[in-house]
Structure 1
Amino acid sequence: MAIGAHPDDVEFGCGATLARWAAAGTRIHHLICTDGSKGTWDPSANLPELVRRRQEEQRAASRCLGGTGEVTFLGRIDGELANDAGARSEVVAAIRTVRPDVILGHDPWKRYRLHPDHRAAGWLTIDGIVAARDPHFLPELGLERHRPSALLLFEADEVDHVEPAEPQHLRARIAALEAHRSQFETTHYHRVGGAGSGLDPAELHAEFVDRERRLLAEAGHPFGVALGEVFKLMDDL
C-alpha cells in the first residue's frame, strides 16, 4: 500500500518500484489523503471538476503501474491535511482492511520540506501503522489488527535502501505520471507548450522523460544500480 498526500505523489515517490512489484505478481494499492483541489495555477478553475478529474487520473495511473488493488481517497481538503484522530482512524481502517505486507509513504522527518500535506501524510502513515498493529487502538472499527513487515519512506531525508528498476519500470512510472494530465503545467512539464507559446510540446515532453530517467539514474548510482528509487527502510515495526 502506497500512501500519498495528493494524486501523483505516489508515482513520483515510488512509481517504478510499484510497477516492478506489480509485474512480479504483487497486488498494489493506493491511499490518497487529499482531494487535490489546489493542484492548478488557474484562478478560475472549476474545483469540484478538478477533484473529480484528479481521482480519475489517479485510478488511471494505478492501472499504468499494473495496479489491481484498491485506490482509496480520504478526500481531505488540499493544503489542510492534519494528523488528527479522524484521519488516523481512516488510515488504520485501510491498513487493517487491505493488510499490506509493505507500506510506502512520505518521510515526515525530511528537513526543509515546504508542503504541509506531505508532512502530515507522513505522520499519518507512521502513526497509522502503530495504531493498526496494536489491539487496543480503535477497537470500534471492528477490524483485526495488522502489522506490516516493512515501511519504505520516499523523499527520504536519509536514504539507506534502493529498489532497482529496469527500463520498462521507468516507462511505467512515466506513463503513470502522464496519466495525471491536469498536472502537466504544475509538477510535470512546469511549462505548457502550444499555439503562441513559443514552446514545443514535443520538446517539453522529451525534457520531462529525460528528467525522470536522470532522477532514477542519479538515485541508483550510489547503490551500484543503473536505475533505482531510494527510500529510508524501516523493518522493525
Structure 2
Amino acid sequence: MTDHVNDQLQPMPDDWRRALAVVAHPDDLEYGCAAAVASWTDGGREVAYLLATRGEAGIDTLDPATCGPLREREQRAGAAVVGVTEVEFLDHRDGVVEYGLGLRRDIAAAIRRHRPELVITLNHRDTWGSTVWNTPDHVAVGRATLDAAGDAGNRWIFPELVEQGLEPWDGVRWVAVAGSSSPTHAVDATPGMERAIRSLLEHRAYIEVLTDQDPEEYCRTFLTANAQAAAARFGGRPAVTFEVFSR
C-alpha cells in the first residue's frame, strides 16, 4: 500500500453534478463525511444516500424490530440537515452483511437508477489506521461498492437489471472512500462543519448508548478533531478526507 502520510491532499474533483453515497449503517456518513456533503449540496449538487441496513442491531437495549425504524428516522433527519432528501435502504441484515453477487447487484441497480458521476463509500479495508479492526459490514459494503461502480456500466453483468428497465450507467468517474488511512483528496470542512455536527447529533438514540459524554460535545469533539488532523496536509484548513479511485 502506498504511504501518503507526507503527501499534500488534492482538492476533490468538482466537475460533477450527481453523487451517490453507499454505506452499511445509519450514522456512517455522519461520522465520515457530512461536512463535505453539506458543501456539495450548498453548491447545487445532488447527493443521494443508499444504506445497506437499517442499523437494527446497533443498540443492545432495543429489539431490532424497534431499533430499525428508529435508526431509519434518525438517518433521514441527519441527511436532511445537510441537504440530502433521497435516502434509500436495501434491507440487508445489520451485522451480517455479506460481500457477494447479491450485494453487488443491489448497489449496481442503485447506481443505474441515480446515474451518479461520483460514488462515495466508507473504508473497505480490514482496519482503521492499522490499529482498530473494521467491521465486516463496512468491509463488505465498501468492497461491493467499488466493484458495483464497474458492474453498473456493463450490460452483461446482471442482465436482469436491463430486463427491469435499468439500462447500464458507465458514467461513474470516481469512487471516493471516506475514512481511509491512505487519503489522496480532501474537502474544506469549515463551511459545512456546524451542519455536520447537527447531522450526527440527529443520531441521538445511538450516541447516548455509546458515551456518557454530552451528545453535542461528543459530536463536536469527534468531528472537529478528525477534520483538524487533516489540516497539515490541506493548506492548514480542517478537512474531510477521501481516497479517490478514478474510473
Deviates further, 220-229 or 45-54: 220-229
Which residue in the other structure is 2:177 paired with? 153
* Residue 33 of structure 1, aligned match among 52, 60, 84: 52
Q: 1:82 to 1:182 in 2, by over 3 A?
A: same
Pairing partner for 1:181 from 201, 204, 220? 204
Match of 1:195 in 2: none
Q: What residue number does 1:196 align with?
A: none
Tell me if the contact between 1:162 and 1:229 (Cα under 8 Å) persists in the aligned partners: yes
Which of residues 97, 102, 107 in structure 1 aligns to 2:123? 107
> Residue in 2 aligned with 1:216?
227
Out of 212, 229, 240, the residue aligned to residue 229 of structure 1 is 240
Q: Deviations over 1:36-77 (max 9, x none)?
A: 1111132xx232111001111111111001113x21101111
Residue of structure 1 in register with 2:138 after alignment: 118
Runs of 4+ that moved beyond 6 A: none
Identity, % of aligned positions = 28
Q: Secondary structure at the match of 1:118?
A: helix
Distance 2:243 2:100 in 1: 24
Relative to 1, partners in 2 of residues 1:110 and 1:47: Cα closer, same or farther, differing over 3 Å? closer
1:85 aligns with 2:109: no
Work out whether residues 201 and 216 of structure 2, in 8 Å CA contact, stay in contact via their aligned partners in 1.
no
Shift of 1:205: 2.9
Residue of structure 2 equivalent to 1:163: 187
Residues 127/115 of structure 1: CA separation in 2 closer, same or farther (3 Å cut): same
Compared with structure 1, are the counterparts of its residues 2 and 186 closer, same or farther at alpha carbon in structure 2 (3 Å cutoff)? farther
Judging by fraction of residues, say which structure has more helix: 1
Counterpart contact for 2:108–2:151, Cα < 8 Å: yes
Alpha-carbon RMSD: 1.6
Counterpart position of 1:197: none
Q: 1:77-106: CA deviations, max 9, x gaps? A: 111001122221111110000001101102
How many residues are matched? Answer: 220
Q: Give the whole-Å Cα distance in 1 for the aligned partners of 2:236 and 2:88.
A: 33
Q: Give the alignment's TM-score, normalised by structure 2.
A: 0.84
5+ residue gaps, structure 2: 1-19
Which residue identity lines up with residue 66 of structure 2 in the other structure?
Answer: E
Give 5+ residue unaligned stretches, structure 1: 193-200
- Of 203, 206, 212 in structure 2, the residue corresponding to residue 191 of structure 1 is 212
Compute the displacement of 1:186 (Å): 4.1
CA distance in 1, matches of 2:59, 2:167: 40
